[in-house]
C-alpha cells in the first residue's frame, strides 16, 4: 500500500480503506467524496490544486500521500490515430504497455495487470519476455485514468459532440489478471464506482488464460465483470501445446470453473480462440470446441494470430477463419471475429511486450 518513500498511494485504496486512511491522518471522512472526484473524475494529480479541500487537508495529503503517475516513454499510433499504444514507465523504472482504442461508440482502454507475465503462452510476446512483478491497484486503475487524461488533453469528442471518455475497460494487456486478483478487483471497483469513472460493470472484461481458483473466486464473490477465457485448444493435449498453464489447471477443471461462474452470475462467458494455421483452425477443432461448450452460455471470439518474433506459427487464412466461424455457428454457438487493430505498432492481442523497439 505504501510506496518506497512510505507515502500512501491513494489509488491503491478502495472506498472503505480510503475512509479509514483519512481518519488515521485526522482528516474528516466527509472529504473522501471530493478527494475521489479529484482523483478519478478530474484527474488532478497535485494536492495543492484540490481547491475544494481545506488547506490543512491538502497539506496533510501532500505530506503523507501520493498518486500513481507514469512517465510516457513512447506513444505509437495506428488506424489513423484511433489506436494508440503507450509504453509507460513506473516509479521503479519497470515498463508496461497500455492501449487506447476508439471504435464507433466505444472508447476502450486495454490495461496491463502485471509487469511481464509468468505464464509463458507460446505465441505471446509478454510471456516470451518473462515476469517482473504484479502491478498495484493504483498502477492498474492509473492506466485507465491516464487514457482518460489523454482524451481530455486532446479535446476528443464523440460523433454527437460530447467529450469522449473511456467507456470500456479490458484487462487483456500484459499479465494474467487472476494471478493479481486483489489489486485488479480493487482497481476495477474503484473505476466502476459512481464516484470513480462510473464505467458499467458489463463494460469491463477480465481475460484469463485459465487460472481456475480465480474464476471460482469471481463466482463465489459474484464479481459482476465480464469474463473472457483464452481457450485456444478444446482438448487438454491441444492446450498443453500452447499454454503451459494447462499443466497446473486442466481443461476439465477450467470448464468446471466456467460452469460455476456462468451459473452464479447468469452471464455468458467469452471464449477467446487465437486462430493458428494448421494448429487449431480445422473442422475437427471446431467440432471439439462446439462439444466442449455444450450447455455453457458462451460466445467465441476468433482472433487471427498476431505475429511475434518468438513464435513461428502463422495466422490462419481469412477463408479458414470464416469456415471455422460457420462450423461453430452451425452448432448454435455465437461467434465473432475480433477486428485486428494496431498490428503494425504491436498493439494487438499477444503482442504487448514493453520492448523499446516494439
Ligand atoms: S497470453 Fe496472457 S497469460 Fe499468456 S503469457 Fe501472454 S500475458 Fe501471460
**143 and 174 together in one domain:** yes
Residue 354 confidence (pLDDT): 64
User: What pLDDT, on the 0 to 100 scale, is given for residue 262?
Assistant: 96
Give residue for cell 512517465: 71
pLDDT in tens, 158-215: 878 888 999 999 999 999 999 999 999 999 999 999 999 999 999 999 999 999 999 9
Residue count of the chain, please give it: 358
Burial class from Cβ neighbours inside 10 Å (0-12, 13-18, 19+) for residue 331 reads: middle
Which range of residues forms the domain containing residue 164?
A: 71-345
65-81 pLDDT tens trace? 999 999 999 999 998 88
- SS3 label, residue 99: strand
Per-residue burial over 196-206, b = 16 or more CB atoms within 10 Å of its CB, e = otherwise? bbebeeebbbb
Q: Is 127 in the pocket of ligand 1 (CB under 6 A)?
A: yes
For the CA of 125, the nearest atom of ligand 1: 6
252 assigned to active site: no
**pLDDT score, position 307:** 80
Atom 5 (ligand 1): residue with closest C-alpha?
A: 127
79 in the same domain as 59: no
User: How do residues 7-44 score in pLDDT, each as one tens digit?
Assistant: 999 999 999 999 999 999 999 999 999 999 999 999 99
In ligand 1, the atom with minimum distance to the C-alpha of 173 is 7
Number of the ligand 1 atom closest to the C-alpha atom of 207: 2
Do 44 and 115 fall into the same domain? Answer: no
Q: Per-residue pLDDT for 357 more than 50? A: no
Residue holding cell 488532478? Answer: 44
Give yes or no for residue 98 CB within 6 A of ligand 1. no
- CB 24, CB 32: distance < 8 Å: no
280: CA distance to ligand 1 center in Å?
18
Q: Of all atoms in ligand 1, which is nearest to the CA of residue 127?
A: 5
Statement: residue 45 has pLDDT above 50: yes
Asked if residues 67 and 10 have their Cβ atoms less than 8 Å apart, the reply is yes
Q: For residue 270, give the 3-state DSSP assignment.
A: strand
Q: Note whether 254 and 165 are same-domain residues.
A: yes
Q: CB of 185 within 8 A of CB of 12?
A: no
Residues 145 and 289 in one domain: yes
Q: Which of 66, 97, 116 is the last residue of a domain?
A: 66
3-class state of residue 273 by DSSP: strand
Separation of alpha carbons 215 and 256, rounded Å: 10
Secondary structure (DSSP) of 118-132: SS--TT-HHHHH-EE
CA of 155 to the centre of ligand 1 (A): 34
**Residue whose C-alpha cell reads 452471464 in the numeric block:** 267
Catalytic site includes residue 349: yes
Helix (H) or strand (E) holding 100: strand 95-103
- 176 closest CA partner among 249, 129, 121, 94: 121
Residue 228 in domain: yes
What is the number of alpha carbons within 13 Å of residue 152 lying toward its C-beta? 12
Determine how many CB atoms are found less than 10 A away from the CB of residue 252: 10
Pair (133, 24) in one structural domain: no
| CATH code for position 271 | 3.20.20.70
Q: Is 29 helix (H, G, I), strand (E, B) or coil?
A: helix
How far is the centre of ligand 1, averaged over its atoms, from the C-alpha of 130 (Å)?
10
Ligand 1 centre to CA of 203 (Å) is 21
Please state, in angstroms and as integers, the Cα–Cα distance from residue 209 to each residue in 132, 150, 248, 265, 273, following that order: 18, 30, 12, 19, 11
| 97, 116, 120, 124, best to mutate for ligand 1 pocket (most atoms within 8 Å of CB) | 124
Do 44 and 121 share a domain, yes or no? no
What is the number of domains present in the chain?
A: 2
* CB of 350 shorter than 6 A to ligand 1: yes
What's the pLDDT tens digit per position in 308-328?
888 888 988 899 999 999 999
Asked whether residue 356 is assigned to any structural domain, the reply reads: no
**53 and 178 both lie in a single domain:** no
Amino acid at each position: 500500500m505504501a510506496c518506497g518513500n512510505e507515502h500512501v498511494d491513494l489509488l491503491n485504496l478502495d472506498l472503505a480503506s480510503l475512509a479509514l486512511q483519512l481518519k488515521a491522518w485526522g482528516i474528516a471522512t466527509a472529504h473522501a467524496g471530493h478527494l475521489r472526484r479529484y482523483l478519478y473524475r478530474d484527474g488532478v494529480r497535485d494536492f495543492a490544486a484540490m481547491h475544494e479541500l481545506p488547506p490543512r487537508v491538502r497539506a496533510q495529503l501532500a505530506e503523507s500521500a501520493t498518486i500513481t503517475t507514469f512517465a510516457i516513454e513512447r506513444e505509437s499510433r495506428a488506424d489513423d490515430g484511433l489506436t494508440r499504444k503507450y509504453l509507460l514507465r513506473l516509479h521503479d523504472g519497470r515498463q508496461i504497455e497500455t492501449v487506447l482504442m476508439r471504435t464507433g461508440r466505444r472508447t476502450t482502454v486495454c490495461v496491463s495487470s502485471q509487469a511481464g507475465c509468468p505464464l509463458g503462452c507460446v505465441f505471446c510476446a509478454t510471456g516470451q519476455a518473462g515476469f517482473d512483478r504484479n502491478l498495484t491497484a493504483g498502477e492498474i486503475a492509473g492506466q485507465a485514468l491516464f487514457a482518460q487524461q489523454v482524451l481530455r488533453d486532446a479535446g476528443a469528442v464523440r460523433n454527437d459532440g460530447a467529450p469522449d471518455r473511456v467507456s470500456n475497460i479490458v484487462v487483456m494487456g500484459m499479465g494474467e489478471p487472476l494471478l493479481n486478483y486483489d489489486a485488479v478487483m480493487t482497481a476495477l471497483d474503484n473505476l466502476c464506482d459512481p464516484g470513480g469513472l462510473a464505467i458499467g460493470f458489463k463494460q469491463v472484461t477480465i481475460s484469463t488464460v485459465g487460472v481456475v481458483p480465480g474464476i471460482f473466486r469471481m463466482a463465489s464473490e459474484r464479481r459482476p465483470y465480464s469474463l473472457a477465457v483464452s481457450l485456444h485448444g478444446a482438448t487438454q493435449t491441444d492446450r498443453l501445446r500452447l499454454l503451459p498453464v494447462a499443466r497446473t489447471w486442466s481443461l476439465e477443471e477450467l470448464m468446471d470453473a466456467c460452469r460455476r461462474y456462468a451459473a452464479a452470475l447468469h452471464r455468458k462467458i467469452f471464449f477467446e480462440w487465437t486462430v493458428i494455421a494448421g494448429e487449431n483452425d480445422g473442422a475437427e477443432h471446431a467440432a471439439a470446441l462446439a462439444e466442449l461448450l455444450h450447455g455453457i452460455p458462451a460466445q467465441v471470439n476468433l482472433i487471427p494470430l498476431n505475429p511475434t518474433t518468438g513464435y513461428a506459427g502463422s495466422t490462419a487464412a481469412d477463408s479458414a477463419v470464416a469456415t471455422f466461424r460457420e462450423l461453430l455457428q452451425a452448432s448454435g454457438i455465437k461467434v465473432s471475429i475480433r477486428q485486428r487493430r494496431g498490428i503494425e505498432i504491436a498493439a494487438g492481442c499477444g503482442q504487448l511486450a514493453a520492448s523499446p523497439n516494439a
